[in-house]
Amino acid sequence: MESAAGTDATGTVGKPSALVLVLGGARSGKSAFAERLARASGLARTYVATAEAFDAEMEARIARHRADRGADWRTVEAPLELAETVRRETGTGTVVLADCLTLWLSNVMLAGHTVEAAIDEVVAAMVSASGPLIAVSNEVGLSLVPETPLGRAFRDAQGRLNRLVAEVASDVVFVAAGRPLRLKPAPDVEIAW
């Protein structure tokens, strides 16, 4: 049976809902899962890229991601303008994949923008998206506490961003070791005292 998130119990991908948040750790398979979800929609696909290539290693990562996606995607670069891009690119007949919220947030912080306002603007844009949207983000709160104030501020802001997007998303999927686990919608957890 297919869930609203587009995956069944075996991880088979179906059509996306209005807003799907795909979370996971580094190299967990979250982007590949999100891409399969977008392909399964049968809609035209737009990839909103938030990464910037500041060095050769990042250039290679971006090139690998492009090659893995294939030529049948329209790519829009949005390292800082994610809210505007979501508003402009979502619509009937297109599924938009924003990859990833984590790099976007680090770009916002390093550019010196007001983080809370930027997060609120992106979440509002996602809520008002006029077509299916898949957002990919890293779950960064499952590891050690960062040593630096900037690292802790980033971790906290990323946790807030993920939590706010998850609240408004129709579906949330956590990917670990390439395997999707649906977090939302999920049955209520009742605890008997």
Give me the active site residues, please: 65
Alpha-carbon distance 127 to 119, whole Å? Answer: 12
Alpha-carbon distances of 45 from 27, 30, 103, 128, 130, rounded to whole Å: 22, 17, 21, 19, 14
Alpha-carbon distance 84 to 28, whole Å? Answer: 28
Can you list the positions of beta strands (E) in 56-140?
74-77, 94-99, 133-138
Alpha-carbon distance 129 to 109, whole Å? Answer: 24
Pairing of strands 179-184, 19-24: unpaired
